[in-house]
Amino acid sequence: MNTGLLAGCTPWPPEFAERYRALGYWTGQTLGESLRQRAQQSPERLCLICGERRWTYADLDFKVDRLAAALMARGLKPRERVVVQLPNIAEFFVVCFALFRLGALPVFALATHRRSEIVHFCRMSQACAYIISDQDNGFDYRTLAREVCAESPGLRQVIVVGEAQEFTSLDALCGEQSGVTEVSAEPLSLASPQAHEVAFLQLSGGSTGLPKLIPRTHDDYLYSVRASAGICGLSASSVYLCVLPVGHNFTLSSPGSLGIFWAGGCVVMAGRPTPEVAFPLIARELVTITALVPPLASIWLDAADGRRQDLSSLQLLQVGGARLSAEVACRITPVLGCRLQQVFGMAEGLVSYTRLDDPEDIVQATQGRPISPDDEIRIVDDADCEVAPGQVGHLLTRGPYTIRGYYQAAQHNQYAFTPDGFYRTGDLVRMQEGGYLIVEGRSKDQINRGGEKIAAAEIEEHLLAHPQVRDAALVAMPDPYLGERACAFVILRESTGSHHQLPAASDLRRFLRERSIAGYKIPDRIEMVDCLPKTGVGKIDKRALRQRIAQILAGAV
Ligand code: OOB
């Protein structure tokens, strides 16, 4: 058996791996085994609520085994990659744990991704299968799957939750449609993967072009899950409302659904993040903890001011993914009647939390401190030299659950990681007494649109594909609700003498939409300009562009 890491992944150096094991961070348990253990300890406990469906741990464990066996029978092999694009539904966990148990690797796409992103994930990961729901939020994923298949020669099968049409139905695979249980109810014993192996691939927010894939191992991920569950005080009586996209690192592991399963609590799936959907669920299922991005937190606050539902079961509201303003932070406890926890994390690893017993000023004004005593933090200047204590600098980190390299990205890894293995987060932070981090800004070329990350280069490339676009630069513009939105500055080519009309902003937007990219990436504003400001070394001066659009918005220009 091949015991090395998946090709194209960077292992931790042996001395670090040994240390993380010796310290008890890496326990040798896989994600699939951890669910089995929980199911054996508390089979009858409620584990998952989705609409009218209520599953116990035994139910979930059984469904996972049945699907794993069916996928194996269809030829899915350990280490093969499977792009999983599901909304917040219970089947997500059946799929996810079935793949974990098989040792096949889910690649977690967002429900908002479209052809351009999904084809990229399929190709990058050489995925052999793609798992979708039939439709959600008015969008038909089977249509998308047809387009993706046409461009991804490696895809062997598409599996659909719901009405499968010409594809394979997940229910049929599990023998649920016919009521026949083809596979025995005995716990499945597979040549299960080892805990040091890669369990799945997460997506990076990206700063250079299309998102990179992030290989997370069973060992490293379970450590972050267990430790997060401890920090957030989870127990078997915790009830978590899964509001943000289920496959995102925040929702999955900080402590998220996996933390809840670890603790033996219950996950409630919210089909939509709106107060209209979430508040009745909180009241009905006595939800104790949930996680939001800042813009959603303010929507909830406004809705809760005149609320009808009883939200008194809620003990902890986690807010993270983007900067939380002081105004919103200080309203949370008075309006929702629960504690606030700030969470600053990244799919690459490091997660930082304010603690439940931290004084109010720390909770409201900092992004907490890292999970682990072995999270190494360096805050450096442009020359990688440590800044004076309390000063702002680039955040570099390495530790027991932070990757050492992106998947099959040797070149990019050279500058995304230092030679001694620190990940360059691209965040500008300072550290306060007690090790508390405050996120001050960003050096990476990315827009954080209310928690949704947009890599500027990715959208610039799409714009440059338009025959009449000569140059383009995407920058963040301030927004009272989302924190930031995206503004594209575009130079058009002179008309070539023919009667071609120059495209308007709406034409460029339509052009982008036709290239089939996630909706949140379409620039909120497009400014046509004659030239773009340059820095001393001839690069586009994005700082000047950010200032220009901020001034325009402030009415100063
Ligand atoms: C989370 O993960 P990603 O991978 O979508 O985004 C990571 C980036 C960070 O590098 C930082 O730039 C930004 O998102 N960010 C924050 C923040 N939390 C994340 N910026 C300011 N304040 C915060 N509280 O976003 C993520 C992963 C796990 C847990 C929580 C968030």
For residue 486, the domain's CATH number is 3.30.300.30
Residues in the chain: 557
Domain identity same for 185 and 75: yes
ipTM metric:
1.00
Establish if 180 belongs to a structural domain.
yes
For residue 11, whether the previous peptide bond is cis, meaning omega lies within 30 degrees of 0, is no
Domain identity same for 19 and 61: no
CA distance 276 to 283: 12
Residuewise pLDDT in 10s, the chain (557 residues): 445 789 999 999 999 999 999 999 999 999 999 999 999 999 999 999 999 999 999 999 999 999 999 999 999 999 999 999 999 999 999 999 999 999 999 999 999 999 999 999 999 999 999 999 999 999 999 999 999 999 999 999 999 999 999 999 999 998 765 444 444 555 556 667 999 999 999 999 877 778 899 999 999 999 999 999 999 999 999 999 999 999 999 999 999 999 999 999 999 999 999 999 999 999 999 999 999 999 999 999 999 987 767 999 999 999 999 999 999 999 999 999 999 999 999 999 999 999 999 999 999 999 999 999 999 999 999 999 999 999 999 999 999 999 999 999 999 999 999 999 999 999 999 999 999 999 999 999 999 999 999 999 999 999 999 999 999 999 999 999 999 999 999 999 976 655 568 899 999 999 999 999 999 999 999 999 999 999 988 899 999 999 999 999 998 76
Pocket test for ligand 1, best of 204, 344, 453 (most atoms within 8 A of CB): 344
Domain identity same for 485 and 436: no
Of 193, 228, 250, the last residue of a domain is: 193
Domain identity same for 497 and 350: no
- The Cα-based distances of 289 to 217, 302, 360, 392, 517 in angstroms read 26, 19, 18, 32, 33
Ligand 1: nearest atom to the Cα of 444: 12
How many Cα atoms occupy the beta-carbon half-sphere of 51 within 13 Å? 6
**483 and 452 Cβ atoms separated by less than 8 Å:** no
Which residues face 453 on adjacent strands? 448
Domain housing 148: 31-193
First to last CA, the chain: 66
Residues with CB under 6 A from ligand 1: 205, 249-250, 254, 320-323, 342-347, 351, 367, 425, 427, 439, 442, 448, 453
CA distance 267 to 399: 29
- What would the two tokens of residue 18 be? 């040994």
Give how many domains the chain has, as a whole number: 3
CA-closest candidate to residue 244, choices 444, 108, 428? 108
Would you call 333 helix, strand, or coil by DSSP? helix
Domain identity same for 348 and 286: yes
Domain identity same for 355 and 345: yes
Give helix 326-336 / helix 294-305 axis angle, nearest 10°.
40
Compute the distance from residue 293 Cα to the ligand 1 centre, in Å. Answer: 9
Establish if 203 belongs to a structural domain.
no
Compute the distance from residue 423 Cα to the ligand 1 centre, in Å. Answer: 14
For residue 394, the domain's CATH number is 3.40.50.12780
Identity of the amino acid at 455: A
For residue 109, the domain's CATH number is 3.40.50.980
CB atoms within 10 A of CB 225: 26
Identity of the amino acid at 450: G
> CB within 8 A of 330, min separation 6: which ones?
364
Establish if 1 belongs to a structural domain.
no
DSSP-assigned letter for residue 323: P
CA distance 501 to 512: 18
Establish if 168 belongs to a structural domain.
yes
pTM of the full predicted structure?
A: 0.95
Long-range contacts of 36-42 (CB under 8 A, 24+ apart): 36/61, 36/187, 38/261, 38/262, 38/264, 41/264, 42/236, 42/264
Compute the distance from residue 34 Cα to the ligand 1 centre, in Å. Answer: 26
Domain identity same for 297 and 431: yes
> CB within 8 A of 293, min separation 6: which ones?
244, 319, 320, 321, 322, 450, 451
Give helix 91-102 / helix 31-41 axis angle, nearest 10°.
120
Establish if 471 belongs to a structural domain.
yes
CA distance 373 to 25: 11
Rg (CA), the chain: 23
Domain identity same for 161 and 231: no
Ligand 1: nearest atom to the Cα of 446: 12
Domain identity same for 21 and 35: no
Domain identity same for 386 and 478: no
Compute the distance from residue 344 Cα to the ligand 1 centre, in Å. Answer: 5
Establish if 205 belongs to a structural domain.
no
CA distance 25 to 356: 22
Establish if 102 belongs to a structural domain.
yes
Of 425, 444, 463, the last residue of a domain is: 444
- 436-447 burial by CB neighbour count: b if 16+ within 10 A, else e? bbbbeebebbbb
Q: Is 420 exposed, middle or buried (0-12, 13-18, 19+ CB in 10 A)?
A: exposed
Compute the distance from residue 321 Cα to the ligand 1 centre, in Å. Answer: 4
CA distance 100 to 65: 11
- What would the two tokens of residue 228 be? 């997060």
> CB within 8 A of 438, min separation 6: which ones?
365, 366, 367, 429, 430, 431, 432
Compute the distance from residue 322 Cα to the ligand 1 centre, in Å. Answer: 6
Domain identity same for 416 and 454: no
Please state the three-class secondary structure of 5-56 as a single string: CCCCCCCCCHHHHHHHHHCCCCCCCCHHHHHHHHHHHCCCCEEEEECCEEEE
CA-closest candidate to residue 405, choices 2, 4, 5, 3? 5
CA-closest candidate to residue 291, choices 451, 483, 51? 451
- What would the two tokens of residue 411 be? 């070149």
- Going by CA atoms, what residue is nearest to atom 2 of ligand 1? 346
Strands 213-217 and 239-242: unpaired
CB atoms within 10 A of CB 280: 13
Domain identity same for 327 and 266: yes
Ligand 1: nearest atom to the Cα of 426: 10
Which residues face 266 on adjacent strands? 239
Of 160, 193, 226, the last residue of a domain is: 193
Q: Is 51 exposed, middle or buried (0-12, 13-18, 19+ CB in 10 A)?
A: exposed
- The Cα-based distances of 112 to 87, 135, 285 in angstroms read 9, 12, 27
Please report the pLDDT score of residue 1 as a whole number: 42
CA distance 270 to 248: 14
CA distance 91 to 376: 37
Establish if 204 belongs to a structural domain.
no
